[in-house]
Structure 1
Amino acid sequence: MPSTPRSFASRVSTQSSAARETVSGAQSHAAPTATTRRSTNFILTTASAICALIVLDTNVVAVSLPSIARTFHADFADVEWVVSAYMVAFAACLLAAGGLADRIGRKRLLLIGLAVFAAASLGCGLAPSVLWLNIARAVKGVGAGMLIPSSLAIIAHTFQDEHERARAWAFWGMCMGIATTIAPLVGGAITQFVGWRWIFLMNLPICAVLAACAFSSMSESKNPHAVAIDKPGSLTFGLALACGIWALIDAGIQGWTSTTTLTRLAGSLLLFALFVGIERRTRHAMIDLALFRDRRFVGAVLAMFGYAACAQVMMTFLPLYLQNAFGLPAVAAGLGMLPFALAMIVGPFIGAALLRRRSIDRVLLIGLVLIGAGNMLTAGVAPMGRYLWVACGMVVTGLGAGIMNGNTQKAIVARVAPSRTGMASGISTTTRFTAIVMSVGVLGGVLAARTRDAFDLAVAGKPAIAAYVDAPFVSRVLAGDAAGAVMHAPDHVHAMLSTLARSSFASGFSDAMGAAGTVALVLAACLWGIAARE
């Protein structure tokens, strides 16, 4: 999860100005003393560490998915839900949690969020089944949804001076970048050397330390003028998103044109329509739909959607590909993702240089084209089984993602009045996570369907091999457990099945990346068209 700019913190920290807040513990606005600076720096470090923990937890799980699949003999849909259950709950809670923090207190919500996050982490680590794990992951997403807005609000409230606030956000962004970069390696190392359950259990002592630091250092703040929480809007949005993802994830099993899939998709569309109706009639709606009358605002939101759906989703599918197609252990797969992560660190510097010469709309267009080109390159070389070429695709995609990271939010906020920046940033952040979870469902469906097609084509006319390539075999390969799928095969077909599993999964991954690249380039064309009309 890349960095979120100060405007989102403004949304969750104030509705109007600091003068309108009730604050427990007066804060001096005079020149900071050494003691005050140490205190505020400690608060900044604590809040940034909490956000970094969420980023780390969001991205660290993907490398462990094959190990989770082996433990529970889980199929591909179950593995997708390990990611999606968390993301759906996270996306559904973000906007509502910002308003709740204003009403009950930012520090209080942060401590509640840490407790929920830690309890859910314990549930994940001790999960006896994949269903239990996915339920705990959803609860964990609720906790994460509480932590992000409350942490950002506390940073914004603590640093009132413009110069100090800029320094604080720079430090916060650095922490987010570091967490994103090391997440695959940390996940791989923990999974390989101590087991995937410790990816979740390690959160318990970390949450305890962070809660103690927050309790002792942070003062309470709230907004007495905070508006009522849009409960109907929050509920219908969350249900609509969950129903849509349910349809997309199970479509590979039920069939894209099956009654079950179509019913779930229809239910999702009806709930989204109901959500729009609620937002149009609610006085204090989560989202002001009038913002979408601005074409360039819509273009910036589309850019955010494309960035998250076509680039950030790589954090989920790349580890599966590296472990399946190359037979890499978890820690090596984490190392194998470094070209993508490091390119994302370099990308913002390129984006800053481009902004000095081009408008932000053009910079977003360049970033989205790079993401599309990188995905297309990855799609073209994935079946070849040559890591160096795949790494080149990662670098191109990562550079595009780095250019768009942050600039997407800036572009959205730049299109609204200062009084509306909070809501605009909330829309941006919710769009990010909604896009990721939708992309996991859609691209996962493409991956599953095309991998099955590759298997069917390869075993056609070969009954001796086809007998072993049944639905459970294919499902385990899709879940990232190719080694487990062929483990009990007879010696005379073991090598052939291993080769077939790698090549078929690589073929499906290639098609999924091709679909992501196509979406990115289509959205880039839309952005170009919107910019050309201005």
Structure 2
Amino acid sequence: MNDRRNIWALVAVALATFMTYLDNNIINVAIPVIERELHLTTAGMEWIVSSYILTFAGLMLIGGRMADLFGRRRLFLIGLAVFTLASLAAGLSGDVGSLIASRAVQGVGAALLTPTTLAIISATFPDKRDRNVAIGIWGAVGALALAAGPLLGGLLSEHVAWEWIFFINVPLGLVTAGIAIWAIDESRDPVERRLDVRGLVTSTLALTALTYALIEGTSQGWGSGVILTSFAVVAVSAASFVAIERTTIDPMVDLALFRNRVFTGAVTASMLWAFGLFGIYFFTSLYIQGVLGFSPTKAGLTFVPMALCMAVSAAMSESVARRFGAYRSVSAGMAVMGLGIASVMLFGQDASMADLMPSFIAIGIGGGMTIPLTAAALSVMPQDQAGVASGVLNTSRELAGLLGITIIGVILSTRQDSLIEAGKAPVEAFLGGYQLGLIVAGLLVIAGGIASWVALRRAESEPVVDEDVLVGV
């Protein structure tokens, strides 16, 4: 990694990753402030968070394909421009509808931007060791965004204005664009392919209908016509998507990728990681401020040790995996992370910041040790499929985060309602639902550790690259 331009290309990619990860979580601590100023319902709060993840996850696969077709540097810059302008619009929003719409457009920009980051790393660092180091740095920067997000969200929403959690992206976006224009070389898939518009439409429709049903089901009634219709749309759209991807000449997702058990196992484990972490992140912020009574700034500070531990752990993960084997380090990390998530349920209405720290630190250390999953998934991909492979990996992670927020929200709301009916006070009822969500999230992360053990152990014990299978020949 001695080439100066290559290092600056990594800086640009890392800054872009920082921005998109930041917007996954900076809003969580600020949500109670936005709720008061815009008079949000619970569904409104979930939509502000989920609209970004929905378009991000729904369009990321096509973003990866577009990067392979039209050039990764070009898509990187276009995505960065869309994301930066949408951030400006979000900060200027004066009502909940405008804010949700701006967040959705931010997700579009992130969907064009994010798949290019890993693909650019793969093209810029062809040497495996250099590439793995670069991916470790990429992961560490993402973890730093997890630290900066809550802290910045708390400080800005409490002491400046909540709009500045979006305005901060504007100077970051301009600096990143300037570096990228100079440092990143263009790369693309040498084989000309067509865009899979039918796959895009059916997958986006399935994700949108599922998100709507899960967020609105509690308020509208799970047996209501609109919710049942939404689930029917999910089933039909998902089945159509699979059928289209199996028969089209240039699919958005080459399903043959999943014949490789290492790639499939890594994607599965990554999804369970994201479900547990992002699924509980949003509600932990509500718990810390709504139940424990922390200010936004104090709430943001509470998350910092977890994210810093994750960043340090992520930076060390590649060397630890080389020494002990990725299947051991990743599975152990996910077990520690899952236990850390579940252990938060031991604390009630009177927990202090010090009480929460052991659990949060365990989540951070364990979560950072999972970074080799990304390298394992990409290592079995030919370079001309790097954009699609990174798109699948990032989409699965974002989709799991979206499902985590909505499904854990359903679990929490259902349990909360039943406790209120049983005579519990609202705070006690919320706490009971939150604790049940913690158990579910923790168990799923531990299950991800088992999946990573199986997948990565196979990767270390037998050859895994079969390019005829991977490209669907």
Q: Calculate the TM-score normalised by the size of structure 1.
A: 0.77
What's the CA shift for 1:112? 2.1
* Partner SS, residue 213 of structure 2: helix
What's the CA shift for 1:152? 4.2
Match of 1:390 in 2: 356
* Partner SS, residue 128 of structure 1: coil
Letter in structure 2 aligned against 1:214: A
- Kept after mapping to 2: 8 A contact 1:89/1:141: yes
User: Alpha carbons of 1:307 and 1:413: their partners in 2 closer, same or farther (altered >3 Å)?
Assistant: same
Matched, 1:269 2:235: yes
User: What are the superposed Cα offsets for residues 238-263 of structure 1, whole Å, 9 maximum, x if unpaired?
Assistant: 22111111111112212334333222
Match of 1:13 in 2: none
Q: 1:188 aligns with which of 154, 177, 180?
A: 154
Q: d(CA) in 1 for partners of 2:259 and 2:391?
A: 17
Q: 2:77 aligns with which of 104, 111, 133?
A: 111
Match of 2:430 in 1: 505
Within 5 Å, which residues of 2 pair with 1:276-287? 276-287=242-253
* Partner SS, residue 67 of structure 2: helix
Matched, 1:520 2:439: no
Give the greater-gyration-radius structure (CA).
1
User: Alpha carbons of 1:424 and 1:362: their partners in 2 closer, same or farther (altered >3 Å)?
Assistant: farther
Matched, 1:426 2:422: no
User: Alpha carbons of 1:264 and 1:299: their partners in 2 closer, same or farther (altered >3 Å)?
Assistant: same
Match of 1:477 in 2: none
Within 5 Å, which residues of 2 pair with 1:409-424? 409-413=374-378, 423-424=388-389
Match of 1:437 in 2: 402
| Paired-residue identity, % | 34
What's the CA shift for 1:233? 1.2
- Kept after mapping to 1: 8 A contact 2:305/2:360: yes
Matched, 1:69 2:35: yes
- Kept after mapping to 1: 8 A contact 2:63/2:391: no
- Kept after mapping to 1: 8 A contact 2:115/2:390: no
- Kept after mapping to 2: 8 A contact 1:364/1:407: yes
Letter in structure 1 aligned against 2:44: D
What's the CA shift for 1:90? 0.8
- Kept after mapping to 2: 8 A contact 1:68/1:74: yes
- Kept after mapping to 2: 8 A contact 1:378/1:389: no
- Kept after mapping to 1: 8 A contact 2:18/2:145: yes
What's the CA shift for 1:130? 1.0
Moved more, 109-118 or 89-98: 109-118
- Kept after mapping to 1: 8 A contact 2:212/2:230: yes
Q: 1:241 aligns with which of 201, 207, 211?
A: 207
Q: d(CA) in 1 for partners of 2:124 and 2:383?
A: 20
Match of 1:89 in 2: 55
Aligned-pair Cα RMSD in Å: 3.1
Q: d(CA) in 2 for partners of 1:251 and 1:390?
A: 32
- Kept after mapping to 2: 8 A contact 1:382/1:509: no
Within 5 Å, which residues of 2 pair with 1:125-274? 125-159=91-125, 168-215=134-181, 218=184, 220-274=186-240
- Kept after mapping to 2: 8 A contact 1:374/1:397: yes
User: What are the superposed Cα offsets for residues 374-395 of structure 1, whole Å, 9 maximum, x if unpaired?
Assistant: 2221123245534433332222
Q: d(CA) in 2 for partners of 1:501 and 1:375?
A: 23
User: Alpha carbons of 1:521 and 1:225: their partners in 2 closer, same or farther (altered >3 Å)?
Assistant: closer
User: Alpha carbons of 1:508 and 1:274: their partners in 2 closer, same or farther (altered >3 Å)?
Assistant: same
What's the CA shift for 1:225? 2.8
Within 5 Å, which residues of 2 pair with 1:338-357? 338-348=304-314, 351=317, 355-356=321-322
Letter in structure 1 aligned against 2:396: T
Moved more, 432-441 or 89-98: 89-98
Match of 1:308 in 2: 274
User: Alpha carbons of 1:162 and 1:410: their partners in 2 closer, same or farther (altered >3 Å)?
Assistant: closer
What's the CA shift for 1:524? 4.9
User: Alpha carbons of 1:221 and 1:202: their partners in 2 closer, same or farther (altered >3 Å)?
Assistant: same
User: Alpha carbons of 1:373 and 1:283: their partners in 2 closer, same or farther (altered >3 Å)?
Assistant: same
What's the CA shift for 1:417? 6.6
What's the CA shift for 1:272? 0.8
- Kept after mapping to 1: 8 A contact 2:338/2:446: yes
User: Alpha carbons of 1:418 and 1:184: their partners in 2 closer, same or farther (altered >3 Å)?
Assistant: same
User: Alpha carbons of 1:116 and 1:434: their partners in 2 closer, same or farther (altered >3 Å)?
Assistant: same
Matched, 1:124 2:129: no
* Partner SS, residue 217 of structure 2: helix
Match of 2:366 in 1: 400
Match of 1:26 in 2: none
User: What are the superposed Cα offsets for residues 277-312 of structure 1, whole Å, 9 maximum, x if unpaired?
Assistant: 011001221222234345554333221111010123
User: Alpha carbons of 1:353 and 1:218: their partners in 2 closer, same or farther (altered >3 Å)?
Assistant: closer
What's the CA shift for 1:150? 3.4
Q: d(CA) in 2 for partners of 1:86 and 1:178?
A: 20
What's the CA shift for 1:366? 2.5
User: What are the superposed Cα offsets for residues 353-392 of structure 1, whole Å, 9 maximum, x if unpaired?
Assistant: 7635655344443233223322221123245534433332
What's the CA shift for 1:506? 2.2
Match of 1:367 in 2: 333
Q: d(CA) in 1 for partners of 2:402 and 2:173?
A: 26
Letter in structure 1 aligned against 2:409: G
User: Alpha carbons of 1:418 and 1:57: their partners in 2 closer, same or farther (altered >3 Å)?
Assistant: closer
Question: Unpaired segments of 5 or more residues in structure 1?
Answer: 1-30, 460-499
Question: Unpaired segments of 5 or more residues in structure 2?
Answer: 462-473
User: What are the superposed Cα offsets for residues 475-526 of structure 1, whole Å, 9 maximum, x if unpaired?
Assistant: xxxxxxxxxxxxxxxxxxxxxxxxx444332222112112212333455566
Q: d(CA) in 1 for partners of 2:327 and 2:342?
A: 23
* Partner SS, residue 337 of structure 1: helix
Match of 1:54 in 2: 20
User: What are the superposed Cα offsets for residues 325-346 of structure 1, whole Å, 9 maximum, x if unpaired?
Assistant: 1111111100011232133234
Count of equivalent residues: 459
* Partner SS, residue 285 of structure 1: coil
Matched, 1:456 2:421: yes
Letter in structure 2 aligned against 1:247: A
Q: d(CA) in 1 for partners of 2:6 and 2:449?
A: 42
* Partner SS, residue 46 of structure 1: helix
